Amino acid sequence: MIHITSLDDGVELFKALGSDVRIQILNILLENDRMSMNQLATQLNLSNGALTGHIKKLEECGLISTSNESASHGNSKLCSVIQDKIVIEIEKPLDLANVSTTDIKVGQFSKYDICPTCGLANSASVIGEIDDARYFAHPDHFNADILWFTKGYVEYALPNLVPSNNNITQISISFEISSEAPGIDNNWPSDITFSINDQKVGMWTSPGDFGGEILGMFTPDWWPPNWNQYGLLKLLVVNKFGTFIDGLQISDVTIDDLKLKPGQPLDFRIAVEDDAEHIGGVTLFGKTFGNYGQDIRVSINYSPIN
């Protein structure tokens, strides 16, 4: 997902999308997952030189990625789409001077209650034993860059560093997430609930547990190819208008409903509940796993109390 918070920041992306040829390229890649430059050039009836310019613009905007793959006649450059959504905010920009931003590793949870299948790993190895929930209490869990479970929750203590005499006006939390199937299943829905300070703010249904022929861009080479490879980058926002995922409203819970106080801790819970229609688990991806190379990113906007 690409999140654009002001129209000025999106100028280069808008330029890249303002071309019929580049729109064609994206549509073709969405239909075929990955294609070589030669295949694209043939289908579009373009020279390789002309195609290279279009591919460069799309790559610079973060819409596609390219990789070299050995072929019988030398190296072949493969292209693929790496974004699933573009979210553009066109309201009055928030005052970026009044924002507190923190990155939290997926293993830095403060509470948990989970059921197998489950596990954790850092960039070098699995932590403990697979499907043994006791290792979620192991001291090494703080260094985990991926975790997964079928049912239950993990909870994070978000630092509230907002200065005194200020009100929180918006909480934004970005994370890479998917379902958790035994092995991999791209069609494995899971109803995932989000709560802040024990108040449910909304639910989102993850469509699957992704992998197969396509590997995670940052997932380590030692990681088994038939395990969780990557997720979807989601942006959860709670503000005065309600609660949103990627700009789509998922509940009417507003920032005022949370009744937050200056300096009050913020407990953020990610859960699959016992009574969920789709109990399909959760996988959270950190900086060294998945497709996005980031931890859980928390931004808290605030303004002076009148």
What is the per-residue pLDDT across 137-181, written as a single tens digit (0 to 9) for each?
999 999 999 999 999 999 999 999 888 889 999 999 999 999 999
Split at pLDDT 50, 70, 90, the class of 96 is low
Query: Does residue 93 carry a pLDDT above 60?
Result: no
pLDDT at 241: 95
Q: What is the pLDDT of residue 232?
A: 95
Q: What average pLDDT does this structure show over 95-120?
A: 91
* CA gap 40, 93 in Å, rounded: 39
Instruction: Determine the residue type at 300.
Output: I
Position 95 confidence tier, pLDDT thresholds 50, 70, 90: low
Does the structure show a pLDDT above 60 at 72? no
More confident residue, 252 or 3: 252
- pLDDT mean over 266-271: 97
101 touches 298 (CB < 8 A): yes
User: Does the structure show a pLDDT above 70 at 31?
Assistant: yes
pLDDT grade, residue 97 (50/70/90)? Answer: low
Q: What angle do CA 32, 33, 36 make, to 5 degrees?
A: 80
206/97: higher pLDDT: 206
pLDDT at 260 over 80: yes
Q: Are 183 and 156 in contact (CB under 8 A)?
A: no
Q: Give me the chain's average pLDDT, please.
A: 91
How would residue 261 be classed by pLDDT, with cut points 50, 70 and 90?
Answer: confident
Q: Which fold has domain 2-81?
A: Arc Repressor Mutant, subunit A (1.10.10)
Query: How confident is the model over 217-231, as a mean pLDDT?
Result: 94
Cβ–Cβ under 8 Å, residues 259 and 117: no
CATH, domain 94-304, list 2.60.120.260, 3.40.50.2300, 3.30.1360.30, 3.90.25.10: 2.60.120.260
The predicted pLDDT at position 179 comes to: 98
Task: Please give the structure tokens belonging to residue 166.
Answer: 């200020």
Domain boundaries, the chain: 2-81, 94-304
In this prediction, residues 257-266 reach a mean pLDDT of: 88
Residue 71 has pLDDT above 60, yes or no: no
CA distance 256 to 116: 36
Alpha-carbon Rg for the chain in angstroms: 21
- Proportion of the chain above pLDDT 70, given as a percent: 95
